[in-house]
Amino acid sequence: MTSFARFHYAPKPKYIEKDITICLHNGFDRDAVNRQMGLLEPLKNEFNIHWNNRIDRHPEAYETYSEMINETVCTSPTETVILISDKSIPTVKEVLFILQMLDRGFAAVSLCSVRFMGVTKELFRKVGWWDQRFIGGGYEDDDFILRLRLANLAYFESLSSEYDISIQSPLQVDGHGCALSEPHFRKKWIETASEIRRIIPEEPYPKWDSMIGAPRPDISSKWLDWSHTIAGIDYGRKPSDADSRTYHFTLEDYRTEYRTVTSD
């Protein structure tokens, strides 16, 4: 009897492009930045890596976390951007996963909430910039996820990547526990039992618009809709874990929506 070997077909991973920018948000500790860069050094064997690190670009305080994100995206030389906070402990496999999920049609992919996230500039062209009216920090990520839902774009959200919550940046503007940012969120989004509605429009940022480059319909035309969203993965592993940013409109299964997200 003739026997046949079984060959498992493993398709080659696909990426939007091989030029990517990695942005490390640590603006105060050069040794820590070097450690994060060292963890991701093997990526250069497959990708053309550009580094856009805050410690080199803007080692001072920002008035808002949103301003840092917007400037980081704009000043990155490539379409695909990986954003990594000072608290994150990233791995090569995690960056590869993010890049593959972006290619599969997720508009944004996070592996440690917004502390470790992959996006394309096209997302900002379509959805708009992070809202810089959230003074200090807090609620800007809630706002952005609500806007992803409003735009009906697929989002992958997890806390599977390791992080060190004890790291505290001396550059961070004191938001007094979100006391400065929460009022803007409550004014911008009106909540009822069945709806969360945006009543204040997004603020224009002509400076960022002028820097972001030409549209990429080849990317946005492949985006999946919100029904493909995967949220809340590995949340609750640590006492320091915050809740999924989808909690404003989903139940504890992170999928069932108990109210709609709308806009005036």
> Among 19-28, 157-166, 221-230, where is mean pLDDT lowest?
157-166
In Å, the largest CA–CA distance within the chain is: 76
Task: Average the pLDDT over 30-44 and give the result.
Answer: 97
Tens-digit pLDDT profile for residues 71-81: 999 999 999 99
Is residue 189 predicted with pLDDT exceeding 50?
A: yes
* Predicted model pTM: 0.92
DSSP 257: B
Is residue 228 predicted with pLDDT exceeding 80?
A: yes
Tens-digit pLDDT profile for residues 97-132: 999 999 999 999 999 988 999 999 999 999 999 999
What is the residue type of 193? A
Task: Average the pLDDT over 244-248 and give the result.
Answer: 93
pLDDT at site 171: 72
Is residue 246 predicted with pLDDT exceeding 50?
A: yes
DSSP assignments along 194-231, one per residue? SEEEE-SPPPP-HHHHTTS-S--HHHHTTPPPGGG-EE
> Which domains are delineated in the chain?
19-164+176-263 (3.90.550)
Structure confidence at residue 94 as a pLDDT band (50, 70, 90): very high
Structure confidence at residue 237 as a pLDDT band (50, 70, 90): confident
